[in-house]
Amino acid sequence: MTPNQPGQMPKMPIPGVKNLIAVGSGKGGVGKTTVAVNLAVGLASLGYKAGLMDADVYGPNVPLMMGVNSTPMAYGDRIQPLDQFGVKLMSMGFLNPGDKPLVWRGPMLHSVIQQFLRGVDWGELDYLVIDLPPGTGDVQLSLIQTAPITGAIVVTTPSDVSLEDARKAIHMFHQVKVPILGIVENMSFLVCPHCAERIDVFSHGGGRRTAEQMQVHFLGELPLDPQVRVGGDTGKPIVLREGQGEPFLELARHTAERTAEAAQETGPAIEISD
């Protein structure tokens, strides 16, 4: 179990869930949900038991990006997650479909996050990937204070504004003692489909540099590729596409390695009895 700091609430394990991976960023729109979706599907296609919890309660994009649009069943007080591409799923978008926004304050957010963590029948999972909303606010704190997060992935683009906010996110995770699995540089470069020239649309290399400066791992570069966006908008994650999914599969492999290292440092997220 992740050790508790003095004065912190106890971080209760989630029965059956071996590793919790939070995907966050300081800035919005840098590709957190894209990374979380392709990571969860990538882990499942590598043979791991994977789940994806959409903690972006106000702006849930997981249903669209996973191509799922149905209502989960509840048995007693347990919610059954949906299943798509071998990944167990829970999102506010399943409970509040359509375009009407939720107008909720902090305590409601806290209780829905707890419901998603503990009221959902996740079953046995090697990895539960959590897609965080942008920034360093209520949802992040609610999760971090109550769940034994094995480690966090920080997504950034190579641009200075995104990197500045990524550093804030890293500081936040450090402050609350959540290990950083690493930084991912998304939209790292574009290969022109006409001339095959490489274009660094948002600059390049800042993710790796920031990782070195802040002494965290660098998990890799993901290309800016129109097919990634198409995969998101059509609910067909690019990681499943032959010939195009490799950068995301590589991220899944790398994340699995880093999670094992982080779990060794902090202990497993569940008590193992044999």
Ligand X SMILES: Nc1ncnc2c1ncn2[C@@H]1O[C@H](COP(=O)(O)OP(=O)(O)OP(=O)(O)O)[C@@H](O)[C@H]1O
Say how far apart CA 161 and CA 147 lie, in whole Å: 30
232 binds, among Mg ion, ligand X, none (CB under 5 to 8 A by kind): ligand X
89 binds, among ligand X, Mg ion, none (CB under 5 to 8 A by kind): none
Nearest residue (CB) to Mg ion, 27 versus 32? 32
253 binds, among Mg ion, ligand X, none (CB under 5 to 8 A by kind): none
Q: Does 225 bind ligand X (CB under 6 A)?
A: yes
Interface pick for Mg ion out of 33, 38, 186, 210 (rule CB under 5 A):
33
Interface pick for ligand X out of 39, 41, 52, 56 (rule CB under 6 A):
56
Nearest residue (CB) to ligand X, 76 versus 226? 226
113 binds, among ligand X, Mg ion, none (CB under 5 to 8 A by kind): none
**Please, are residues 128 and 90 in contact by the beta-carbon 8 Å criterion?**
no
Q: Does 228 bind ligand X (CB under 6 A)?
A: yes
The tokens for 258 are 């880093």
Residue matched to tokens 């800042």: 206
* Smallest gap from residue 134 Cβ to Mg ion (A): 7
Q: Does 34 bind ligand X (CB under 6 A)?
A: yes
Interaction mask 46-65, Mg ion, x per CB under 5 A: ---------------x----
Say how far apart CA 143 and CA 146 lie, in whole Å: 5
Say how far apart CA 181 and CA 179 lie, in whole Å: 6
40 binds, among ligand X, Mg ion, none (CB under 5 to 8 A by kind): none
Q: How many CA atoms lie within 13 A of 273 on its CB side?
A: 2
* Smallest gap from residue 196 Cβ to Mg ion (A): 31
**Please, are residues 51 and 88 in contact by the beta-carbon 8 Å criterion?**
yes
Quick one: which segment of 115-123, 198-206, 218-226, 248-256 binds ligand X (CB under 6 A)? 218-226
Nearest residue (CB) to Mg ion, 134 versus 182? 134
Interface pick for ligand X out of 10, 28, 106, 137 (rule CB under 6 A):
28
| Backbone φ and ψ of 102, nearest 5° | -85, 135
- Residue 148 CA, chain-centre distance (Å), reads 15
Q: Does 18 bind ligand X (CB under 6 A)?
A: no
* Smallest gap from residue 120 Cβ to ligand X (A): 21
User: Which stretches of the chain bind ligand X, using CB under 6 A?
Assistant: 25, 28-34, 56, 59, 61, 133-134, 186-187, 222, 224-225, 228-229, 232
User: Which stretches of the chain bind Mg ion, using CB under 5 A?
Assistant: 32-33, 61
